[in-house]
A and B are shown apart, each in its own frame.
Chain A
Amino acid sequence: MSPLWTILLILVPLAGALLVIFGGDGKNAYRDALWASIASLVPAVMMLIRFDYTRAAEFQGAASWTWIEQLGLRLSIGTDSIALLLIALTVLLGPVCVLASKTAITKHRRMYYAWLLILQAAMVGVFASRDLLMFYICFEFTLLPMFVLIRMFGSTNRVAASTKFFLYTFTGSIIALAGLVYVVGFAADLNGAWSLDIGVLTAAAAQMSAGQQAMVLGALLAGFAVKVPLFPVHTWLPLAHTEAPTAGSVILAGVLLKLGTYGIYRFAIPMAPAAFTEYAPAIATLSIVGIIYAGLICWIQDDIKKLVAYSSVSHLGFCVLGLAALNAAGLSGSVLYMLSHGLSTGGLFLMIGFMYERYHTRDMRKVSGLASKMPVWAFFMVFFAMASVGLPGLNGFPSELLCLIGAFQADEAWTLAGEPGAAGVTLGPWYAAVAGLGMVIAAMYLLIMVGRICFGPLVEPEGHHAHAVLPDDLNTREIITLLPLAVGCLVFGFFPGLLLDAIHDPVNQTLELVRAGSAAAADTAGAFTQGVRP
Chain B
Amino acid sequence: MTTLAYADPSPYLPIFFMILAAIGFAVLNIAGSFILGPKRLGDRKGETYESGMTPIGTARKRFNVRFYLIAMVFLVFDVEIIFLYPWAATYTLLDPGSEQSLVWLGRILFFLFTTVVAYLYGYRKGVFKFD
Q: Do chains A and B touch in the complex (CB under 8 A)?
A: no
